Amino acid sequence: MAGKGLKGDRFFGKSARDEGQVTFFSIEVFEVFLATLDLKDTTLEGLRRNIVIAGVPLKDLMDVEFEIDGGRFAGSGHAAPCSWMACAYGPGANKILRGRGGMRARVLVGGTIKRGPGLLHSPHPLDPSASAQPVREMKLP
């Protein structure tokens, strides 16, 4: 829903808390994450991200309006990993996800997002080979 997020989400309607109501995450980053931590039989739920996408470099959607199946979004900020990641996946999880934790987006026009394939419209071409790159460059200690 526009300005509120996803119905049923724990942050639904609390848009003032963050720079976005929905969090996108790249499946390519998840694959790197699993390989780096040598995790097997692990699911995405522990990441607490709303929409998982494939073949889309999230960094190219920052500060851009885009559409998925009729819903319109505006990429608004990096979704930094929180301490929960280490609880859910183990030591080192946060470090691997720095700069790759996903992207927050504001919901501009509501719609229905369904499980499974969807169609993303972007105002500019996207390079699927860059899907696992950080959303923003991070300076690591």
Half-sphere exposure at residue 4, Cβ-oriented, CA atoms within 13 angstroms: 10
Residue 73 to residues 13, 33, 77, 110, Cα–Cα distance (Å)? 16, 26, 12, 9
**What does the pLDDT profile of the chain (141 residues) look like in tens digits?**
888 888 888 778 775 555 788 999 999 998 988 888 888 888 888 788 889 999 999 989 989 999 998 899 999 988 888 787 888 888 888 888 888 888 999 999 998 888 888 888 898 888 888 887 776 554 443
Neighbours of 90 (CB within 10 A): 12
CATH code, domain with 26 = 2.40.33.20
Domain membership of residue 124 (yes or no) is no
Q: What is the pTM of this model?
A: 0.85
Domain membership of residue 1 (yes or no) is no
Determine the structural domain holding residue 38 and report its residue range.
15-111
Domain membership of residue 86 (yes or no) is yes
